[in-house]
Structure 1
Amino acid sequence: MEEQLEGNGVQVFDFKAFVFRTISYWKWFVLALIVGFYVVYQQNIRREFPYTLDASLTVQDDKNPLFTSNTSLVFNYGGISGKVQEVLLNLKSRKHHEKVVDSLDLYLSYLKQGRFYKTDIYGSNPFKFVGLDSAYQVIGQPIKIVFIDQTSFELSYDFGEAQSVTAQNFQDKTFKTIPLGDPTFSKTYAFDQYIDLPFFKGSVVKKENASVSKGQEFFIQYTNFNATVSSFVNNYAVTNQQGSPLLVTRLTNKNKAKIVDYINTSVFILERDQLQRKNQYAINTVAFIDKQLARVKGQLNRKADSLNDFKRSNKIFNLENESELLSGKIEEYNAQKEILSQKLMSYDLLKNYVTTSQDFTSFPAPALQGIDDPNIQSSISKIVSLSIQKSTLESSVRDNVSVFGDLNNQIASLKSVMLENIASVKTNIGYQLQSINSRIYSTESKFSTLPENQQKLESIEREYLLSQSTYNLYLAKRGEADLIKASNISDIILIEPAKDIGQGRNAVNLNIRYIFAVLAALLPILFIAFIITFFDNKIHTPKDLEKLARIPVLGVVGKNDSVNNLAVFNKPKSAVAEAFRAVRSSLQFIYKKHELEGTKTVMVTSSVSGEGKTFCSINIASVFALSGKKTVLVGLDLRKPKIFGDFDIDNQIGAVNYLIGQKPLDDIIQKTKVDHLDVITSGPIPPNPSELLIGEQMDRFMAELKAKYDYIVLDTPPVGLVADALELIEYADASLYVVRQDYTKKEMLSLINSKHNKGEVKNISFLYNFYDQKGKYGYGYGYGYGYGYGAYGNGYHEDNEKPKSLFARVKGVFIK
């Protein structure tokens, strides 16, 4: 964040600082990139690519050529489009996939350990495990098989620290938790020997002509049935071009043999189920006719017995011609009556089906046998078409939408019309039956002229012939149904079965993962740099000072590598010493600019403790003294005195003793090991430091110092903590406000900046301390502060570091 001086205190994001801070984290980016690339590489070489194979099939509307208008028992009003949608939905249904998985036992996997993962060896496994159908088999845990020779093998498992395992019965698909006595097991078995473990029952059968080597390892693993089905459903696709009967099925799996078997078995099961459903009409008709045949056969046997008994008891063996004529008429009438009765029964069956059924996608044959009314047939066709349309929408459209309401209303209307038509037809049939019964009664009355025994014989023979005619009719219908069933073919035609013709694995460009690795390494660094930059309120470069205040920057001082604060005295040729000489030159320029004569005074202060105020005071005084000028360093930080420690002097007496009138000036002055430099420490901590610094005694104190020295350096308390330094500004010809890199916070300058803007503080400059040329952002400060740090090349300063070892340099890249 930056506070713009000309703004209204509005803080804006420092994008440049953000960029350079991000660049400064390059080493962490490189490290994260190396780790990311290594992880991606390891994942890529462990990736097992799948295969994708397909098969093509077509849906036809194959009509049985033996069907006629009288024998057809199959009613399909949906057309080819409806069949295609029905087949497509069946192929996608979970129920269909459950049949395929069950048929191929795909919940049982045969695995072989590869370099990085276990490989599915379906189709090439040299043995087969025949599990007990009713047993619970452990799921999700591999059972290890190691061949010992051609007749035996070692079976083992290691379930780690598990106390129990989950097992599934693949017959009824139920689960069971079985406790473990020992999580590890190993035993030798012979091929075909029954294995009886609590959660693994069956036998290992070696395939015929399979050759195994000693020590070969394989794994057997059962998988949750539902999870297995879901994996195939998710990787199975069926496509169909609109209006085309062609369907293409595709499956993606890591084993090609499994894909081939799965797709072809899927189509085979579809064909079987479709043909079975197609034949179901004929099967239902045969069952219905068989019931009627049993009933009519019983009646026929009883009539035959009655006829034979009557003839035998009455010794009647021939009838007269008139009797034969009358019998023929009555038989004809009864045949017509039977046909009408069958029609009436058919309409009753149809009415019952329409009233009670909920699914009208196809009408069963018994419900349609004998239905010849064109209005009713038309209603049936429309209801079937609407029902197929509704069934198709239910698989692709959510429930409770208006389209289902419209379809249901249309079907209900058609049902109502059909029931009215059925009632009308039944009424008409009733009238016809009444007419026939009347004719039969009229004809039978003519038998009154025949002898009584002959009349009885005629009656029995008529009943017998009628039952025999009905029986023959049902036999003919049953023969038609059997013929239709035998001649039916499936409407599903497999055009191109799935086949392994050397297809390669699916091509996947894994190089894109490296891009994600770069992003994964870069984004956290960008985020961290953004957060730190956004909340960073410290001063990092001298340029920050120019943005925060109109106070000029007098000088820049680098890091102090000396053992104490006497950097100029200990290393007079160091970069830090040169920086303070530059500060001295700048101060002399200020004094000359303001035409100051005699003693010059400089005050050093800062915002808070720890910014290097005392360090700067000591070395500014030292450079003045080293130039041959009589200089005194006065410690006026009465609350927290420091300067005496670096000069190996005590703080028993000092400025406080003078200000309270205890000691004269000469008694508080202490000599130092630096020529021409004297020090006046602060002395004992007083109870009222502020009052001591603003009294008349302070005026006399400064006057005596000016009479005795060429330069006076005042080390004062921090402005941000106490107001003492502001009281002392009037005694200073120039004031230095110390700012420490990466330490001083921006808001700490608000007080001195406000004072300066109001004109309350004059002749004040910033002294930038602890300057690191590289900086946190990785860029230097190129504004001419060359004397500050590293201004000269190697050989010009005493503090050039010795070359580091390779380990130290590598370590220094990541750890500072």
Structure 2
Amino acid sequence: MSTNQNNIPFNYPVFSVSKSKEEFDLRAIILTYLKYWKWFVISVGACLAFAFLFNKYTVPVYVVNGTVVLNEEKPDITADLFSSAGLVNNKVNIQNEIWILKSYFLAEEALKNLNFNVTYYRVGTFQKSQIYGNTPVLIEVDWNHAQIVGGMFKIKVLENNKFLLELEEEGISVYNPSDPFYNTSIADQTVFDGEYAFDSLIVNDFSKITIKNAGALPGEEIFFSVSDTPSLALQLANDLSVQLVDEKSSILSLSLQTTIRKKGENYLNNLMDAYLERELAEKNRASDATILFIQNQLSGITDSLTFFENRLQQYRTDNKIFNLSEEGSRVYDNLLVLENDRAKAEISLRYYNQLRDYLDREDFDALMAPAIADLDNNLLTTLVGNLIELQADKTRLTANFKDENPAVQEINRRIENTRKVLSENVNSAIANIRANIAQLTERINTIDKEINQLPETERRLLGIQRQFQINESIYVYLQEKLYEAQITKASNFPKNSILNGARSSLSPVFPKKSLNLIIGLFIGLAVPFLIITTKNYFNNKVDDPRFLEKHQDIPFLGIIGKASLDHARVVLENPKSGVTESFRSLRSDMSYLVPEKNKVVILFTSSISGEGKTFCAINMASVYALSGKKVILLGLDLRKPKIAQDFGLENNVGISTILSKELDWREAVKSSGYENLDILLSGAIPPNPAELILQDSFTQMMAEIKESYDIVIMDCPPVGLVSETKELFKYSDINIFVFRHKYSDKSNIKVVESLREKEEIKKIYTILNDFQVDHRYGYGYGYGYGYGYGKDYGYYQEDKAGPISRLLKKK
């Protein structure tokens, strides 16, 4: 018998028989989750509280933005001639510029003017907060000495000139200036612990620092960490984001996330300045090489000019001759023009020879602008300038990529092509200049013959004056070229420019407060939802009447609520309860199931013991007895009888006694103590219950019982456990298979299906016993409605006695 407590009545007036797996009941699903509303409230509240605290105490992260405009070089008249050959490229390679801005070496250059190596912190509410600018202490690090980096150190100010230094967080390593890209770990984590004086040098094998008091008060605690420049540069280069503002533009947006807005702005501004300074330095390399070449030429000319100037003055003084004759002046002027032309040609030849030497050695950093050659050669100027720019691009690329990178291979190909064309032009220019020098020399030799006809004194004066005038002209020429080169260098400026300086966002990008609250709400709803869904998915107990309706072809008659009494006689003891009404409804359904029979045999069974078949059999018999029908309750569970104890009877004589000793069954019938209800107990437990049921005497007994009573209720053993129940189905008109709420396995449906299909048992139905429901929501259509209406209007009377009262009453 199933013992039911906390009486919750149900009235299910109409049985259902449809099996609709496709039916979707949204209301039932919602009500399933609403039963656990407290879980949702607690989960949502906890997650929203966590999101609120996270938003409040998380260090905000801001994004700093700056923009750089990439401009194209203005092409000259020769650019179009060689663009098809890949020798001249005025287009901006945006991807290269992006990688240059993200390069480690540019980040290192930007850090040179920033004191980012030491980071200072104060104690916050939940974590340490960073200080930038106006720090209470100032730490000076000697980076030429080995230095501890990483970890976290604490400074506790003891007095105005004294402090305690100790390691707060481990994870330190040692930076070695001789090998800056590889830090070594250190085992001794107490190298700094101790008391020190402010402004004193702290030196050991792993560090060399000075800590100065910049306004810290006694008792104040300041934390700091030290980072080496290579590690900082690598981290900042990785953190920097560079992307095109628009696909059709050549404007790059630089962004960096930082917890300190001013610190991020300073770094980004320095980075953009370093980018432009690097570009300008690359442009100035050609001018610097030209200036150096001219200065080297001038150093020799200056000495020669001074020597011949002194000699000319001395010769005029000694020989008292100051001017040439008319004939000598004419010859001298002609000779001087040719000598100046030859001197300039020789300078150009030296330039081209040196240029060819650089090209052969591939020393492109030493290339000079061809303006020094004083030749109108736009092609040569373009080729040299383009080769210098290509070499600069290669230098920047190789700082980030290996030689196998396609971009590096492409620029190497362009450099080689440009070098070949330039070499051919240089060789051609050298041949032309040598031919010109030879021609000028021949003309000079012709004039020398005329000079030999002049008087000796005048001839010697002309020779000295000739040497002085040539050196003076070359000196003036070189000075002019030097000024031009210096002006060119001074007028150089980066082709790219800064459009917008670094500026931080007004609101933080992390944490996103509104989004975090939404996420907290979502997680708060999702966690209990997933738990409940998982719990329901792995739940193999029948906990919903709809499951029986949808997953079986056997007609489902209805549900029996959970009773509050401590015995099975609910209908007899509490005729106005909801459970009693459930059995009355079930009795009404019987008239539809067997409409033409005045005498009915109803069989109750289940899959396993404990599902409440005896409880249902007793109360079904009781509800018929109350209606005036003559009823007998048969205890056919010969293995585990329970009816006797529910009625306070002694199970000494019963069906097993009748069948084994061939007694008259009428002698074994016992009164239940209630009108119209008799009981035929199972009797003593026999060793062979299945064989007893198979006797002909049992068939005869059942026939006689049917004749003697209007209603016969058969309490049979679980069909899923024993075999004799299958033999009892042939005596019944209606067979009721009992499931128990949250007790019976869902797989027991297969047992019922098997009885109908394999055993060909007709008139088999199912009910759900011991059903419990939450009054706050009902249970959807018929279930919740029936109970709620009856209870509110006094149709049902429930036993509200608590367990202690019931215990005292029992005693």
TM-score, normalised with respect to structure 1: 0.74
After superposition, what is the alpha-carbon deviation per residue over 1:769-794, rounded to whole angstroms, capped at 9, x for unaligned?
11223399962451699589975766
Amino acid at match of 1:202: I
- Given the alignment of the two structures, is residue 189 of structure 1 paired with residue 201 of structure 2, yes or no? no
Candidates 556, 560, 565, aligned match of 2:563: 560
Q: Specify the alignment match of 1:30 in structure 2.
A: 41
**Alpha-carbon distance change, 791 to 719 in structure 1, aligned in 2, over 3 angstroms:** farther
- Given the alignment of the two structures, is residue 594 of structure 1 paired with residue 596 of structure 2, yes or no? yes
- Given the alignment of the two structures, is residue 511 of structure 1 paired with residue 510 of structure 2, yes or no? no
After superposition, what is the alpha-carbon deviation per residue over 1:442-466, rounded to whole angstroms, capped at 9, x for unaligned?
5667788899999999989977876
Q: Specify the alignment match of 1:434 in structure 2.
A: 438
Question: Shift of the alpha carbon at 1:39?
Answer: 0.2
Q: Specify the alignment match of 2:116 in structure 1.
A: 106
Candidates 154, 172, 185, aligned match of 1:177: 185
Q: Distance in 2 between matches of 1:558 and 1:240?
A: 70
Moved more, 137-146 or 123-132: 137-146
Q: Distance in 2 between matches of 1:769 and 1:782?
A: 16
Q: Specify the alignment match of 1:124 in structure 2.
A: 134
Question: Shift of the alpha carbon at 1:37?
Answer: 0.7
Candidates 266, 273, 284, aligned match of 2:289: 284
Extract unaligned runs of 5+ from structure 2: 1-15, 75-87, 805-811
Q: Specify the alignment match of 2:54 in structure 1.
A: 43
Q: Distance in 2 between matches of 1:240 and 1:594?
A: 88
**Alpha-carbon distance change, 59 to 749 in structure 1, aligned in 2, over 3 angstroms:** closer
Question: Shift of the alpha carbon at 1:693?
Answer: 2.7
**Alpha-carbon distance change, 572 to 32 in structure 1, aligned in 2, over 3 angstroms:** same
- Given the alignment of the two structures, is residue 732 of structure 1 paired with residue 728 of structure 2, yes or no? no
What pairs up with 1:672-683 in 2 under 5 angstroms? 676-681=677-682, 683=684
Q: Is the 8 A contact 1:97 1:233 kept in 2?
A: no
Q: Specify the alignment match of 2:346 in structure 1.
A: 341
Q: Distance in 1 between matches of 2:96 and 2:766?
A: 86
Question: Shift of the alpha carbon at 1:42?
Answer: 0.4
Q: Distance in 1 between matches of 2:550 and 2:145?
A: 82
After superposition, what is the alpha-carbon deviation per residue over 1:351-397, rounded to whole angstroms, capped at 9, x for unaligned?
455566497xx993255531625363475289469959988998999
Q: Is the 8 A contact 1:582 1:787 kept in 2?
A: no
SS in 2 for 1:195: strand
Q: Specify the alignment match of 1:215 in structure 2.
A: 219
After superposition, what is the alpha-carbon deviation per residue over 1:261-288, rounded to whole angstroms, capped at 9, x for unaligned?
4355445545654554444333322332
Q: Is the 8 A contact 1:556 1:788 kept in 2?
A: no
Q: Is the 8 A contact 1:602 1:712 kept in 2?
A: yes
Question: Shift of the alpha carbon at 1:713?
Answer: 2.3
After superposition, what is the alpha-carbon deviation per residue over 1:214-234, rounded to whole angstroms, capped at 9, x for unaligned?
323322222465664434763
Alpha-carbon RMSD: 5.6
Q: Distance in 1 between matches of 2:651 and 2:498?
A: 107
Question: Shift of the alpha carbon at 1:716?
Answer: 1.5
After superposition, what is the alpha-carbon deviation per residue over 1:201-255, rounded to whole angstroms, capped at 9, x for unaligned?
3122234xxx444323322222465664434763676887999999887766443
Q: Distance in 1 between matches of 2:495 and 2:788?
A: 94
Question: Shift of the alpha carbon at 1:435?
Answer: 2.9
Question: Shift of the alpha carbon at 1:656?
Answer: 3.4
Moved more, 609-618 or 246-255: 246-255
Q: Is the 8 A contact 2:166 2:190 kept in 1?
A: no
After superposition, what is the alpha-carbon deviation per residue over 1:62-113, rounded to whole angstroms, capped at 9, x for unaligned?
99xxxxxxxxxxxxx988x869999887655443232222321213112222
Q: Distance in 2 between matches of 1:415 and 1:391?
A: 14
Q: Specify the alignment match of 1:714 in structure 2.
A: 714
Q: Is the 8 A contact 1:630 1:711 kept in 2?
A: yes
Q: Distance in 2 between matches of 1:636 and 1:457?
A: 155
Q: Is the 8 A contact 2:96 2:397 kept in 1?
A: no
Q: Specify the alignment match of 1:155 in structure 2.
A: 165
Q: Is the 8 A contact 1:540 1:741 kept in 2?
A: yes
Q: Distance in 2 between matches of 1:391 and 1:56?
A: 24
Moved more, 522-531 or 665-674: 665-674
**Alpha-carbon distance change, 176 to 764 in structure 1, aligned in 2, over 3 angstroms:** closer
Q: Distance in 1 between matches of 2:567 and 2:470?
A: 135
Candidates 256, 263, 275, aligned match of 1:258: 263
Question: Shift of the alpha carbon at 1:797?
Answer: 2.6
Moved more, 318-327 or 273-282: 318-327
Q: Is the 8 A contact 1:601 1:712 kept in 2?
A: yes
What pairs up with 1:71-110 in 2 under 5 angstroms? 93-110=103-120
**Alpha-carbon distance change, 487 to 759 in structure 1, aligned in 2, over 3 angstroms:** closer
Moved more, 107-116 or 266-275: 266-275
Question: Shift of the alpha carbon at 1:515?
Answer: 1.6
What pairs up with 1:427-506 in 2 under 5 angstroms? 427-440=431-444, 473-474=477-478, 477-478=481-482, 481=485, 505-506=507-508
Q: Specify the alignment match of 2:377 in structure 1.
A: 374
Question: Shift of the alpha carbon at 1:192?
Answer: 0.6
Q: Specify the alignment match of 1:767 in structure 2.
A: 767
Q: Distance in 1 between matches of 2:68 and 2:22?
A: 70
After superposition, what is the alpha-carbon deviation per residue over 1:119-144, rounded to whole angstroms, capped at 9, x for unaligned?
33212213311122234444443322
**Alpha-carbon distance change, 282 to 401 in structure 1, aligned in 2, over 3 angstroms:** closer
Q: Distance in 1 between matches of 2:554 and 2:488?
A: 108
Q: Calculate percent identity across the aligned residue pairs.
A: 27
Q: Is the 8 A contact 1:634 1:682 kept in 2?
A: no
After superposition, what is the alpha-carbon deviation per residue over 1:28-76, rounded to whole angstroms, capped at 9, x for unaligned?
211110111110110111134456677788899999xxxxxxxxxxxxx
**Alpha-carbon distance change, 596 to 787 in structure 1, aligned in 2, over 3 angstroms:** farther
What pairs up with 1:606-617 in 2 under 5 angstroms? 606-617=606-617
**Alpha-carbon distance change, 261 to 117 in structure 1, aligned in 2, over 3 angstroms:** same
SS in 2 for 1:619: helix
Question: Shift of the alpha carbon at 1:610?
Answer: 3.1
**Alpha-carbon distance change, 712 to 197 in structure 1, aligned in 2, over 3 angstroms:** farther
Amino acid at match of 1:288: F
Q: Distance in 2 between matches of 1:702 and 1:477?
A: 135
Amino acid at match of 1:204: I
| Number of equivalenced pairs | 766
Which protein, 1 or 2, shows the higher relative CO under an 8 Å CA cutoff with sep ≥ 6?
Answer: 2
**Alpha-carbon distance change, 53 to 521 in structure 1, aligned in 2, over 3 angstroms:** closer
Q: Specify the alignment match of 1:808 in structure 2.
A: none
SS in 1 for 2:373: coil
SS in 2 for 1:42: helix
Q: Is the 8 A contact 1:606 1:717 kept in 2?
A: yes
SS in 1 for 2:29: helix
Q: Specify the alignment match of 2:685 in structure 1.
A: 684
Q: Distance in 2 between matches of 1:749 and 1:243?
A: 69
Q: Distance in 2 between matches of 1:626 and 1:733?
A: 21
Q: Distance in 1 between matches of 2:632 and 2:640?
A: 19
